[in-house]
């Protein structure tokens, strides 16, 4: 096993871009590298000495199932000594959900007895591409300053381009209209500063979990629009449902209060005779169907 008191090994592990942490057989975290700090937002002092099952990172899968108390890959590796790999979503310190690829392996002592495990996790957000896009939008004054998403003007411009491609080349795309549920109550209860934090948290969850070919922007207030290219009806629904689950499983902490929100989503595929206005109106109406049906749900129509 690596000697964690050895400065050479610590320096080596801290200079890796991946997040790495070690646990003992009770899943107490005994080491947390700089990559783990960067990806999760939690510094080593905040997590070392805590237990993995304390739900610090609160790993969930695509269905929103909490893994730390059920099918945790790290716990399974400690039990049977088999390495594992899984795509999961960790809870960032800032509240949003980050997609990561986790790989686990057992740790042995000199007698080949398992004494713990290591988890390596890699950021799956293609952050460099996102950073480049933000820079481009900033230059063109097409960026929403609060959320760092595309603004309404850019969304409208992009929709015009996508509709032209659809008519000319039959390249399919869909849109999602997303609205934070009971947002006024958040502002009234916790203040507008917390409302802004919630908007940023939701925006970060969107950007961390979208393909680089897709666009998500702030339409206004607590409303967002996503443009999803090269997609069919079922995959558009699956994509919207994943975003809904990830937002619902995100949270911020204010003093002792855990603040969570949900979103209602309406979505549709574009058709050749659509205009920007008709497409947005259809998705908006479907979003309101989600609201009237109880909120925190997805309503889709093919076209």
223 is catalytic: no
The residue-averaged pLDDT of 271-294 equals 97
Separation CA 265–CA 296 (nearest Å): 8
pLDDT reading at 132 higher than 80: no
The residue-averaged pLDDT of 197-201 equals 97
- Angle, vertex CA 233, rays to CA 215 and CA 206, nearest 5: 30
- Please give the distance of CA 77 from its chain centroid, rounded to a whole number: 25
7-123 domain in CATH 3.30.450.20? yes
Domains 7-123 and 127-301 share a fold: no
Q: What percent of the chain has pLDDT over 90?
A: 70
pLDDT at 254: 84
Q: DSSP 3-state assignment of 38?
A: helix
Topology of the domain comprising 127-301: Alpha-Beta Plaits (3.30.70)
pLDDT at 129: 61
249 confidence band (pLDDT: 50, 70, 90): very high
Catalytic residue chosen out of the listed positions 37, 119, 222, 241: 222
Residue-wise pLDDT for 175-198, tens only, equals 999 999 999 999 999 999 999 999
pLDDT at 59: 87
- Tokens linked to 168: 């000319």
Where exactly are the structural domains of the chain?
7-123, 127-301
- Please give the distance of CA 38 from its chain centroid, rounded to a whole number: 15
The residue-averaged pLDDT of 90-114 equals 90
Residue-wise pLDDT for 43-89, tens only, equals 999 999 998 877 677 888 888 888 877 778 999 999 999 999 998 99
pLDDT at 181: 98
Q: Which residues contact 84 (CB under 8 A, 6 or more apart)?
A: 73, 76, 77, 102, 103, 104
pLDDT at 123: 84
270 confidence band (pLDDT: 50, 70, 90): very high
First-to-last C-alpha distance (Å) of the chain = 58
Tell me which H or E stretch contains 164.
Answer: helix 152-169
């Amino acid at each position: 096993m690596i000697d964690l008191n050895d400065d050479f090994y610590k320096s080596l592990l801290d200079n890796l871009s991946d997040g790495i942490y070690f646990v003992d057989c009770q899943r107490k975290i005994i080491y947390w590298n700089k990559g783990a700090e960067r990806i999760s937002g939690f510094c080593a002092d905040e997590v070392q000495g805590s237990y993995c099952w304390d739900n610090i990172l609160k790993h969930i899968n695509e269905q929103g199932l909490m893994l730390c108390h059920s099918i945790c890959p790290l716990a399974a590796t400690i039990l049977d000594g088999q390495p594992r790999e899984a795509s999961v979503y960790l809870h960032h310190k800032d509240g949003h959900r980050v997609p990561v690829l986790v790989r686990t392996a057992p740790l042995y002592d000199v007698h080949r007895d398992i004494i713990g495990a290591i988890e390596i996790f890699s950021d799956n957000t293609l952050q460099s591409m996102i950073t480049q896009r933000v820079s481009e939008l900033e230059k063109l004054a097409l960026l929403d300053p609060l959320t760092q998403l595309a603004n309404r003007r850019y969304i409208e411009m992009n929709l015009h381009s996508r509709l032209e491609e659809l008519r000319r080349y039959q390249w399919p795309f869909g849109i999602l209209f997303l609205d934070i549920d009971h947002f006024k109550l958040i502002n009234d209860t916790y203040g507008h500063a917390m409302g802004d934090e919630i908007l940023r948290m939701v925006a970060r969850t969107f950007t961390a979990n979208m393909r680089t070919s897709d666009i998500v922007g702030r339409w206004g207030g607590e409303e967002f629009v996503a443009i999803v290219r090269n997609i069919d009806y079922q995959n558009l629904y699956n994509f919207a449902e994943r975003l809904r689950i990830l937002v619902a499983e995100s949270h911020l902490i204010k003093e002792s209060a855990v603040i969570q929100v949900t979103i209602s989503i309406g979505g549709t595929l574009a058709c050749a005779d659509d205009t920007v206005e008709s497409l947005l109106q259809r998705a908006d109406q479907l979003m309101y169907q989600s609201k009237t049906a109880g909120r925190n749900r997805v309503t889709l129509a093919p076209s």
